[in-house]
Amino acid sequence: MARCRFLQALAVVAVLLAVPGAGVAAGLQIEIDIGRAVHQAMDAENLRARVFLEQRQPRFELTADALSLPQPVGRVTELRLDCPAVDLGDRRLGCRDGRFSARAPGVTLDAAALEFHWDRSAGEIGFAMPWPGLFQGRGRIQGSADRTGLGLEFDLGGLDLSSLAASPLVPVPNLGVTIASGTLALSGRLDTREHLQSLRTDLRVAELAFSDAQGLRAGEGIAVAGRFVHRAGGFDIQLGFTDGAVFVDPWFLDFSEEGPVEMSVSRLQQTGTASWQAADALLRLGEHAVAHLQGLRTTGARLDRGEIRWEASRMDRVGELLLGPMLAGTVLGDSRYQGSGEGELSIAGGRLRAASASWGGFGLEDMRGRFGLDALSGQAHWRDDGPGQASFEFDRGGHLFGIPVGSFAVELDLEPRGVRVKEPVDIPTLDGALGVEILKVRMRPDGPEVEFEGAIRALNLETATRTLGWPPLSGKLAGVIPRVRYDIDGLRVDGRLLVQVFDGDIVLRDLRIRDLFGRAPTLEVSADIRRIELRRLTEAFDFGRVEGRVSGKAEDLLLVGWQPERMRLAIATADEDPGRRRISQRAVQNLTELGGGLQGAISAAFLQFFEDFGYRRIGFACDLEGKVCRMSGVADRADGSFVLVQGGGLPRIDVVGHNRRVDWPELIRRLNAVRDGPGPVVQ
């Protein structure tokens, strides 16, 4: 294979043309068949040149069957360069009004305008041409080339992005999306000469639209302005998104509302097929948040290494735009945030190694009303290889299922896979407090595991029952909470939970809560009821006075959405209680209003003459299934009725129930009506 240099051949031609008297003939034609020309940057096949001299005006043609160039251009065929006007000088060979034609995969040039000159002494070729309309663009390129490389300046606009992305000539990374529309404007300089090797490009993108086949990534009307700079140390990139909207599952962002969204990367380098590293980067979400990243290294979509410092001045927007979609389907997936925060993250080996954060005025509110925090401030420091600490102050507390929580402070010990309360703390609520003695949270592969021990300190029952939508009670609630566990199977109590109320005890057992923060949490429990003081109970309901004590059981109680769906409840006079047993006229009448009847030694007309009555036994039972309660009392009668109050002494009066099947919601409605309405009047 003959190795030659085409430029040297042109030099020979130029010398011949410049020899005095060479143009004596009417016309001169020189044909040079170079064959194959090999250069470090190209490989030309069947290269031919023809030089013409007519009326002392030289011109030439250059053709080649194929030209192999470095990727991404690759193999170019059917090359033809026509130079109708050649400028000759002692050192310079120039071409005016040239035309260039060639074919490459996906591209055809047909007589594209070209001007160039060759400085023989400097060994440099300079060229300029209008953009030949590729990818529907317009503009101009110019530059120069010598043995060390190429210098190119360009100013282009109106490039069609969908055509550009589909062309094999353009090294666009495979992003897995199809570009439907958009235009690109570029201006800058490329230099590949020795010791320079640089690229600077200013770009503007307008009306970009893209999508993928799964519908998980899409954008419309996007406007971007930015700059790419490449040097020996890698790429520097700056981008600003100002218009349009983008969806990248699970996030949606409208740049015109939240922007500008800015991104910059310094010294970005590709280290492998799908690996990149960068010295530092910055991401800015409008005026809402900013993240500074240093020492980054990625593999595919995974961040292998990096130091991240973040600031969020508006947690309300950050929560709605970023946290909410990311946490969808979790307990926090439907929350609204407020306040500000900042922190740092350290990632190594593809894992989070350390994290710290501080918050000011932070709050969140579950939009389903299940929980909320207000005005939290504090800081936390965590490591994956040792202990850490956190301290928080809840300046205005919050609520849990509508139950208010007052202000308190807590200190935590952070472990690599968990957290625990450092010292016992009282959380104010319902005019009392929830005492936290032990609280441990461990992260397991299948979800968190929580252990809790504490106490209930004099909670206000009236506020609690009103908040939960239960029949209103008054008085105080106190008790001890044994070990409580919460994991993937729900919440359960290991042991028995003692609740002291109405001067008696309620012992809860087999307590379990499932889907605690779901749309319809379920609670299963059974209870032993011991010596409840009826006077305090009936005063709480404002039902009318009843004196005495009752005991009983609530078996297989099921609450769905905190409303009873199933239970077997039975309470009656405690046989071992020797105390006073009296029932007021108003209580008798209210029991009658709720569906009972009167039988006794006197008629109802004479009840008004007595303030209260003695009784021997009092009680009722309810087997609830769905919305129907099957009632019974302390004794059954032959006619199918049942006794709710069994009289004792004179005047004797019994309260009898006749309807064994009672609609539970209607019963609760009547009970509330009795409490809220005026007392009955007997005439």
117-174 pLDDT per residue, tens: 888 788 888 989 999 888 999 999 999 888 777 888 999 999 999 988 888 766 666 6
pLDDT for position 261: 94
Asked if pLDDT for residue 549 goes beyond 50, the answer is yes
Q: What is the pLDDT of residue 270?
A: 85
pTM: 0.69
Confidence of residue 496 (pLDDT cuts 50, 70, 90): confident
Distances (CA, A) of 157 to 179, 203, 226, 501, 668: 18, 9, 14, 80, 75
Q: Which of 263, 301, 302 is nearest to 283 (CA)?
A: 263
Q: In this predicted structure, what is the pLDDT of residue 674?
A: 65
Of residues 306 and 670, the one with the higher pLDDT is 306
Spatial distance between the Cα atoms of 607 and 611, rounded to a whole number of angstroms = 8
Residue 111 maps to a domain = yes
* Local structure of 72: helix, strand or coil: coil
> Per the domain annotation, does 145 fall within a domain?
no
Do residues 337 and 314 lie in contact, with contact meaning Cβ atoms separated by under 8 Å?
no
Q: What's the mean pLDDT in 290-295? A: 96
Dihedral in degrees, nearest 10, Cα atoms 496, 500, 506, 512: -50
Q: In the listed set 112, 130, 148, which residue is the last one of a domain according to the structure?
A: 130
Please give the residue range of the domain that contains residue 533: 505-676
Structural domain contains residue 70: yes
Residue 496, both tokens: 């028995």
pLDDT band at 85 (very low <50, low <70, confident <90, very high): confident
**So what's the pLDDT on residue 312?**
95
Say if 481 falls within a structural domain: no
Cα–Cα distance measured from residue 208 to residue 309, given in angstroms and rounded to the nearest whole number: 31
The distance of Cα 26 from the centroid of its chain, to the nearest Å, equals 82
Q: Read off the tokens for 622.
A: 């309810």
DSSP string, 433-483: EEEEEEEEEEEETTEEEEEEEEEEEEEEHHHHHHHHTSPP--SEEEEEEEE
R_g of the chain computed on alpha carbons: 44
Q: Is residue 337 pLDDT above 80, yes or no? A: yes
Tokens of 263: 């991104």
Minimum mean pLDDT range among 94-98, 379-383, 597-601? 597-601
SS3 call for 84: coil
Out of 162-171, 227-236, 315-324, the most confident range is: 315-324
Q: Is 304 helix (H, G, I), strand (E, B) or coil?
A: strand
Given 90, 107, 130, which residue is the final one in a domain? 130
Asked if the model's pLDDT at residue 21 lies above 80, the reply is no
Q: Do 223 and 185 meet the contact criterion of CB atoms below 8 Å apart?
A: no
Taking the C-alpha atoms of residue 339 and residue 319, their distance in angstroms, rounded to an integer, is 10
Which one of 110, 130, 150 terminates a domain? Answer: 130
The CA distance from 172 to 163, in Å, is 12
453 - beta bridge partners? Answer: 438
Residue 247 in any domain: the answer is no
User: Whole-number mean pLDDT of the chain?
Assistant: 83
- Between 601 and 573, the more confident residue is 573
Q: What is the pLDDT of residue 22?
A: 44
The pLDDT assigned to 672 comes to: 73
User: CA distances (Å), 216 to each of 212, 258, 363, 610, 643, in order?
Assistant: 7, 21, 31, 77, 66
In a domain, 308, yes or no: no
Query: If pLDDT is split at 50, 70 and 90, which confidence band does 421 have?
Result: very high
Q: How many domains, in total, are found in the chain?
A: 2
Is residue 20 situated within a structural domain?
Answer: yes
Reported as a pLDDT band with limits 50, 70 and 90, residue 57 is: confident
pLDDT of residue 508: 87
Is a pLDDT exceeding 90 seen at residue 90? no
Residue of 101, 116, 141, 114 whose CA lies nearest to 10:
116
**Residue 494 domain-assigned?**
no
Per-residue DSSP letters for 567-590?
EEEEEEE-TT--S--EEEHHHHHH
